[in-house]
Amino acid sequence: MTGPPMTAQTTTTAPRPILDSPRPRAEQLLVGFFTVIPMLALIAAVPLAWGWGLSWLDVGLAVFFYFLSGLGVTVGFHRYFTHRAFTANRGLRNGLAIAGSLALQGDVITWVADHRRHHVFTDKEGDPHSPWLYGTTVGALAKGFWHAHSGWLFNRDRTNAARFTPDLVADRDIARISRQFPLWTVVSLATPTLIGGLATLSWWGALTAFFWAGLVRVSVLHHVTWSINSICHMIGERPFAARGKATNVWPLAILSMGESWHNLHHADPTCARHGVRRGELDMTGRIIWILERLGWATRVRWPTSARIAELTASR
């Protein structure tokens, strides 16, 4: 006897697989390309800074694009799209999706799908970038560190967007911005180059702006973001009760724009501010506060002292 026919109902209620089909090889090659080239630029940057062109304009452009794309990731990709720490109007939502795309960390839907999977399986099998998957010997932790920091990007697993980000796939604006990721990659590298060239009316000015505000800026932000996945799951303080091994790492607070208060974040993922204790700088939280004042962000999930006391006590 055969079983009942598979109905639409049973199809939709069956749990969707964690992974989608593997990433195409050509796309994987591009991931490698855009990860390695900026990193080589970063390695070359230090000796070149002394004897080679680094103008104040390059510094200004690099800092501007660092924080623009970085806040696109922290305010947008992370606290808004992944965790819905606040509600955004349409203009802000699209602006954040575009700004985050300029960081060259993948399209918004892929980024959010991977990160939601990280929260579901934190530091266990299924977590896309836990440093704890290989064991706790020195060798296993070194391997884990590399995997969590950037090694995971080089395997072809693709998180299933239909399972982890149905809300974003259904949002037509966001789905379009996500598909346009190649365009944002060009915009991210070409805009500082163009400004550098036009401001100095020289090809040399365009080239140095491309190098510093394009490649080096992208790579520094890559490493800071990746440090949240590697360092902030290995070393640091754990003042709050969180599943997994996330830590607070104060030296990264400014460069990461508040994301290195990662122990609090895993204890209370939808909280709009991660640096909740006195003196814990959280630029991302401050920007959300400004967006709320402007009326673009509403229903912001601010931490309450009762909630923080609860998270500290249940530790």
Output the smallest distance, CB 21 to Zn ion, in A. Answer: 26
Q: 241 burial class (0-12, 13-18, 19+ CB within 10 angstroms)?
A: middle
Interacting residues of 67 by C-beta distance below 8 A, sequence separation 6+:
257
Interacting residues of 248 by C-beta distance below 8 A, sequence separation 6+:
232, 236, 237, 238, 239, 260, 261, 262, 263, 264, 280
Residue number with CB closer to Zn ion (246 or 271): 246
**Binding track, positions 237-266, relative to Zn ion; x by CB under 5 A:** ---------x--------------------
Within residues 95-134, the interface with Zn ion by CB under 5 A covers none
Output the smallest distance, CB 242 to Zn ion, in A. Answer: 9
- The closest residue (CB) to Zn ion is 246
Could you give the count of Cα atoms lying within 13 Å of 236 in the half-sphere of its Cβ? Answer: 25
Which tokens sit at 300?
């912001």
CA dist 238 to 232, 234, 243, 280, Å? 10, 10, 11, 14
Output the smallest distance, CB 231 to Zn ion, in A. Answer: 11
Residue number with CB closer to Zn ion (121 or 134): 121
Residue number with CB closer to Zn ion (246 or 249): 246
Within residues 179-238, the interface with Zn ion by CB under 5 A covers none
Output the smallest distance, CB 83 to Zn ion, in A. Answer: 6
Output the smallest distance, CB 253 to Zn ion, in A. Answer: 16
Q: Dihedral of CA 33/37/39/43: which sign?
A: positive
**Binding track, positions 7-46, relative to Zn ion; x by CB under 5 A:** ----------------------------------------
Residue number with CB closer to Zn ion (93 or 233): 233
Output the smallest distance, CB 116 to Zn ion, in A. Answer: 8
What is the per-residue DSSP string for 216-267? IHHHHHHHHHHHHHTGGGTSSB--S--SS---B-GGGTTTTTTTTBHHHHHH
Residue number with CB closer to Zn ion (217 or 262): 262
Residue number with CB closer to Zn ion (57 or 246): 246
Output the smallest distance, CB 262 to Zn ion, in A. Answer: 6
Residue number with CB closer to Zn ion (109 or 213): 109
**Residue 14 has what DSSP assignment?**
S
Residue number with CB closer to Zn ion (168 or 246): 246
Output the smallest distance, CB 265 to Zn ion, in A. Answer: 6
Count residues contacting Zn ion (CB under 5 A)?
Answer: 1
Which tokens sit at 274?
């991660």
Output the smallest distance, CB 43 to Zn ion, in A. Answer: 27
Residue number with CB closer to Zn ion (193 or 247): 247
Q: Is 198 helix (H, G, I), strand (E, B) or coil?
A: helix
Q: Are 42 and 226 in contact (CB under 8 A)?
A: no
Q: What's the 3-state SS for 260-310?
A: CEHHHHHHCCCCCCCCCCCCCCCHHHHHHHHHHHCCCEECCCCCCHHHHHH
Name the packing angle between helices 108-120 and 90-101 (round to 10°).
90
Positions touching Zn ion (CB under 5 A) are 246
